[in-house]
Copies of this chain bind each other. A is one copy, B any other.
Amino acid sequence: MLIFRSTAQGKVIIVAKTPARKPAISDHLAYLLAQANREINRHLESRLRKEGVPVEQWRVLMILADGKGHSMGDLANAVLLNHPTLTKMVDRMVSDALVYRVQDPSDRRRVLMHLSDRGKALAKRLSSLAERQEADIIQSYGNKSTSELKRLLESLIDSAS
């Protein structure tokens, strides 16, 4: 769409030019990200289904795999879940004997999460499933595109947070 204005001399000039078609939802970064995220998640999920583990639990296990003992707050942040959701998911994982809670001795409000042996073994198996998926993406999408995309996503993440 063009936007006009007439000058003092009576001439008509274009002062603005909006995109020809009205913005479709697929022009929005928010939508493209959601779409891409869903697609990739779907693939990852189908890989992890072999072990019957949801993507969110994969994230928990990966984060805890450094053996460091993360607080619930850290974890919630790292696995992209809010606190009550994480609490309940951790409850389930405790029932499944994958993780356990330890009270932080230096701050008794805090709880430090750890992997059990069973959790470690599962984490290792999942890790190789996820690596394989990553390799598949690189295969079909290209090494260059993949690393460029990762670079852009990282910088978007810190510009947005």
A residues adjacent to B (C-beta < 8 A): 23-25, 27-41, 43-44, 55, 59, 62-63, 78, 80, 127, 130-131, 133-134, 137, 140-141, 145-146, 148-150, 152-157, 159-161
A interface majority secondary structure: helix
**A145, A154, A160 interface centre (most CB from chain B within 10 Å):** A160
Q: How often does this chain occur in the complex, in copies?
A: 2
**Residues of chain B contacted by A145 (CB below 8 angstroms):** 152, 155-156
**Residues of chain B contacted by A159 (CB below 8 angstroms):** 140-141
A20 CA / B150 CA spacing, docked (Å): 19
**Residues of chain B contacted by A154 (CB below 8 angstroms):** 32
A37 CA / B41 CA spacing, docked (Å): 12
Distance (whole angstroms) from the CB of A30 to the closest CB of chain B: 5
Distance (whole angstroms) from the CB of A1 to the closest CB of chain B: 14
Other-chain residue from B23, B25, B133, B157 in contact with A39 (beta carbon distance below 8 A): B157
* A29/B149 in contact, CB under 8 A: yes
